[in-house]
Amino acid sequence: MAKAKSNTEDYLRMYRQMVRIRTFEDNANQLYLSAKMPGLTHMYSGEEAVAVGICEALTDDDRITSTHRGHGHCVAKGAEFKQMFCELLGKAEGYCRGKGGSMHIADQSHGNLGANAIVGGSMGIATGSALRAKLQGADDVTVCFFGDGATAQGLMYEVMNMAALWNLPVIYACENNGYSEYTKTEEIAAGSITARAEAFGIEAHRVDGQDVLAVNDLTRKLVARARKGEGPFFMELMTYRYHGHHVGDINREYYRSKAEEKEWKENRDPIIRFRAHLVSEGIATEDDLDAMNAEVEKDAAEAVAYALDAAYPDASEVDMHVFAA
Amino acid sequence: MREITLSQAVNEAIAEEMRRDASVFLMGEDVAEAGTPFKVLSGLVEEFGTERVIDTPISEPGFVGLAVGAAMTGARPIVDLMFGDFIYLVMDQLCNQAAKQHYMSGGKLTVPMVLRTNMGATRRSAAQHSQSLQALVAHIPGLKVAMPSSAYEAKGLMKTAIRDNNPVVIFEDKLMYQDKAPVPEEEYLIPFGVANVKRQGTDITLIGTSSMVQVAEKAAEILALEGISAEVIDPRTMVPLDEATLLESVKKTSRAIVIDEGHQSYGVTAEIASRLNEKAFYHLDAPVLRMGAMDVPVPFSPALEDLTVPTPEQVAANARKLCAGELIHAA
Ligand SMILES: Cc1ncc(C[n+]2csc(CCOP(=O)(O)OP(=O)(O)O)c2C)c(N)n1
């Protein structure tokens, strides 16, 4: 764990946000398994410290771009359960009026430019957002989330080159969960991932993605520097996804062992670790945290119930929003 | 009225819009000091500086992606794609990213960007620098597609494109950059989705796009000498398409030929012809004819290249047969 901070409120909010993501995912998983949720979805459980550690260092004016595994980023950036569950179920009150679903939630009010189903597809968008900030003299920073698998996409190298040439306020956050779909990272990534950014002269850091304080500390420093025009930066966050690649990926022993999953879940869980830290530092009691968990669970259950009952969009919406006015 | 080239018209349109709106900026390969290989953007960097006229590395998907992100967050980028053929490189950014954001977000996100690029064969540029890929882009919901047919059109359509809140792709014909036309000094905009009836006629409608408008006009002159009265229409924008004006014309003339420089198969001509067949069938005295570029990669040799693109003579010949009641593709 990174060094203790005195900001109790921040710590409790980070804890709560991690629990909110985990709870959201548990409910989404249930919705899917009980055949109430259409489509498919990719769980973020296990990676909470990454999204929360990073997004807690950002303001609503700072932008993020997200991935196919985007619920965690969306929650961490401030989204509400109700509109998220409505979106997952294709309901009119969803963030995107049911037109995006799990893989495309965008929440502009909190600076989330949207999840993206094209692996690596949002790297241009994030870098373009940073270019806009620089051109307009705005001091917001954009964080681009992507997986280790996405580092094999050529687009990343094109945009890192421009970001470095033009000192853009963008932070590339590579969530290295060890796999891209059903393939181990070592099988698809030659050399070191951080070295790829370093080749462009981009300062790159490797950080324990299961340690929310370490992620948050580093991000806060990098964001402050990016605001001053010292960007871009690159972070490789070592993390793990507990579920399969997507909700239907149940039998996965052919590509990763149960023992490995158990090891991460039991000994490296970001929520368990942070919880122990909060208790041992006297920031909260077990009872306080249990109460917080219960409150989040209640919120989620209510949001799910609301979303299940909510109306689908009217048929007249089908050809609405093809073009902007 | 003064006459300026299509190239100057585009340049003026962009300069005026950049003066009017500080959020408009330009980027692409060699756009600044070089002003692009066709010199269309010459001088803009002197007025607006390298902050707003940005030379990019040779990274088409990268800088089109940057434009999407900049547009989504409050800027109005104009991206210069040096050759229309490079659209293949940027398909993901254009079609999966730019075109989809507004819809996928339920109307929350907008992508007000312009991708200006070119099209057209007969420049002896061979197969990778001669394509007319408008149909490829027009196929994707969420993208608007404009095809200026003269300097006047180029200026008015460009200004409208820059002010539009959607991704717009503008195809300029490489051969027309030096073509002059009367262009007023005062400001004007050409609205999207409004076709231009270039020439009135009663016997047949010739619908042409971009340089094929000139081909259609020349064909109309040939036909006029023979007593055949051809109406010539420039739709100006493929998306949105001014179907009403096209239908109205066909209902009057009862015959039509659609001419575009994209490949014939699955192309712009097929779409327009099909709509006329669907919506004006009982007004037609002959099948609507399509004339596109041949379905071959564009050859280098002048002797071959010239064969691939519709000519006024071919258009006139087809029109003559249609008006005489001959079935052109009779089995
Ligand atoms: C361009 C593209 N290629 C392939 C896919 C299919 N696909 C979806 S997720 C994924 C794996 C991505 O791995 P990674 O970037 O490491 O992210 P993770 O799923 O591990 O979070 C693949 C191959 C896709 N959606 N887009």
CB A150 within 8 A of CB A119: yes
Nearest CB partner across the interface for A124, out of B62, B73, B141: B62
A195 vs A183, A202, A204, A236, B108, CA distance in Å?
21, 9, 8, 10, 37
Quick one: what percent of chain B has pLDDT higher than 70? 99
Sheet holding B76-80, edge to edge: B53-55, B24-28, B76-80, B114-119, B168-173, B144-146, B237-239
pLDDT band, residue A7 (cuts 50/70/90): confident
Give yes or no for A139 touching B (CB within 8 A).
no
pLDDT band, residue A40 (cuts 50/70/90): confident
CA A126 to ligand 1 centroid distance, Å: 18
d(CA B251, CA B284): 7
Whether A226 has a pLDDT exceeding 70, the answer reads yes
- For the CA of A42, the closest atom of ligand 1 is 19
How confident is the model over B19-77, as pLDDT tens digits?
Answer: 999 999 999 999 999 999 999 999 999 999 999 999 999 999 999 999 999 999 999 99
CB of A48 closer than 6 angstroms to any ligand 1 atom: no
CA B81 to ligand 1 centroid distance, Å: 28
pLDDT band, residue A313 (cuts 50/70/90): very high
Whether A1 has a pLDDT exceeding 60, the answer reads no
The domains of chain A are located at 42-307
CB of A193 closer than 6 angstroms to any ligand 1 atom: no
Whether A6 has a pLDDT exceeding 70, the answer reads no
pLDDT of residue A255: 96
pLDDT of residue B239: 98
CA A180 to ligand 1 centroid distance, Å: 6
What is chain A's mean pLDDT, rounded?
Answer: 96
How confident is the model over B69-108, as pLDDT tens digits?
Answer: 999 999 999 999 999 999 999 999 999 999 999 999 999 9
CA A20 to ligand 1 centroid distance, Å: 24
d(CA A173, CA A55): 11
- For the CA of A175, the closest atom of ligand 1 is 21
Pocket probe for ligand 1: among A40, A48, A68, the residue whose CB has the most ligand atoms within 8 Å is A68
Calculate mean pLDDT across residues A293-307: 98
Contact A129 B109 (CB under 8 A): no
CB of A147 closer than 6 angstroms to any ligand 1 atom: yes
Cα four-point dihedral sign B209, B94, A107, A311: positive
Strand partners, B115: B79, B169
DSSP state at residue B33: S
Whether A4 has a pLDDT exceeding 90, the answer reads no
How close does chain A come to B43, measured CA to CA in Å?
20
Tally the residues of chain A. 325
CB of A189 closer than 6 angstroms to any ligand 1 atom: no
CA A149 to ligand 1 centroid distance, Å: 6
Please state at what angle helix B211-225 crosses helix B312-323, rounded to 10 degrees. Answer: 50
CB of A155 closer than 6 angstroms to any ligand 1 atom: no
Give yes or no for B238 touching A (CB within 8 A).
no
> What tokens were used for B256?
């039509």
For every residue of B156-200, DSSP letters joined together read: HHHHHHHH-SS-EEEEEEGGGTT-EEE--SS-----TT--EEEE-
Calculate mean pLDDT across residues A196-216: 98
Domains (range + CATH), chain B: 2-183 (3.40.50.970), 196-324 (3.40.50.920)
Which residues in chain B are contacts of A132 at CB distance < 8 A? Answer: 69-70, 73-75
Calculate mean pLDDT across residues B100-122: 97
CA A248 to ligand 1 centroid distance, Å: 15
CB of A151 closer than 6 angstroms to any ligand 1 atom: no
CB of A177 closer than 6 angstroms to any ligand 1 atom: yes
B60 assigned to active site? yes
B243 assigned to active site? no
Which residues in chain A are contacts of B107 at CB distance < 8 A? Answer: 97, 320-321, 324
For A281, counting Cβ atoms within 10 Å of its Cβ (0-12 exposed, 13-18 middle, 19+ buried), the class is: middle
How confident is the model over A56-69, as pLDDT tens digits?
Answer: 999 999 999 999 99
Catalytic residue among B60, B172, B231, B305: B60
* pTM confidence score: 0.95
Give yes or no for B68 touching A (CB within 8 A).
yes
How confident is the model over A130-161, as pLDDT tens digits?
Answer: 999 999 999 999 999 999 999 999 999 999 99
Whether B330 has a pLDDT exceeding 80, the answer reads no
pLDDT band, residue B327 (cuts 50/70/90): confident
Contact A100 B104 (CB under 8 A): yes
Query: Please, which residues have CB within 8 angstroms of residue B69's CB and are 6 or more apart in sequence?
Result: A65, A113, A124, A125, A126, A127, A128, A129, A130, A131, A132, A142
Disruptive mutation site among B66, B95, B111 for chain A (greatest number of A CBs within 10 Å): B66
Contact A129 B105 (CB under 8 A): no
> What tokens were used for A119?
């692996």
CB of A181 closer than 6 angstroms to any ligand 1 atom: yes
pLDDT of residue B183: 98
Calculate mean pLDDT across residues B238-249: 98
Residue A133's CB is within 10 A of a number of other CB atoms, namely: 27
pLDDT of residue B331: 58
Nearest CB partner across the interface for A127, out of B69, B71, B108: B69
pLDDT of residue B328: 72
d(CA B236, CA B208): 9
Task: Classify domain A42-307 at the CATH topology level.
Answer: Rossmann fold (3.40.50)
How close does chain B come to A106, measured CA to CA in Å?
6
How close does chain A come to B186, measured CA to CA in Å?
26
Quick one: which of B122, B107, B61, B83 has its CA closest to A128?
B61
CB A95 within 8 A of CB A112: no
- Give the ipTM: 0.93
> What tokens were used for B37?
């290989």
Please state at what angle helix A48-55 crosses helix A212-227, rounded to 10 degrees. Answer: 40
